[in-house]
């Protein structure tokens, strides 16, 4: 099975967030809880859906990722853009944050 994480948008500000192992929401993909089996993925998704019902987040879904050099990397271009920010302006989005490390 492909590795998966749960992603959503935080309701109060629209930021892209990722479900953590502590059942919180992180701005950074590398802080996400990673499901390695379908059972783990469904359990994480259920928690995310409960958070959506509680109006913490919106548009909860599973996202496929891979590990590259110890970091999580989205498999789709759409999710890479959601994780990092606009592709035309590197001075905007999460990529503009000094703490962000680009995969080489």
Q: What's the gap between Cα 87 and its chain centre?
A: 17
Per-residue model confidence as pLDDT tens digits over 12-29: 989 999 999 999 999 999
Phi, psi of 11, rounded to the nearest 5 degrees: -70, -35
The domain locations on the chain are: 3-96
Which tens digits make up the pLDDT trace of 58-93?
999 999 999 999 899 999 999 988 888 766 666 656
Per-residue CA distances from 96 to 15, 26, 37, 76, 102 (Å): 15, 17, 33, 21, 11
Residue reference for tokens 């930021």: 15
pLDDT level of residue 7 (50, 70, 90 thresholds): very high
């Amino acid at each position: 099975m492909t590795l998966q994480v749960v992603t959503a948008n935080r309701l109060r500000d629209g930021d892209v967030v990722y479900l953590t192992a502590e059942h919180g929401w992180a701005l950074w993909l590398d802080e996400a809880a990673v499901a390695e089996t379908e059972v783990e993925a469904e359990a994480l998704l259920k928690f995310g859906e409960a958070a959506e019902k509680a109006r913490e987040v919106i548009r909860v879904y599973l996202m496929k990722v891979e590990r590259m050099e110890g970091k999580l990397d989205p498999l789709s271009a759409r999710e890479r853009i959601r994780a990092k920010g606009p592709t035309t302006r590197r001075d905007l989005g999460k990529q503009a944050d000094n703490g962000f490390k680009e995969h080489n």
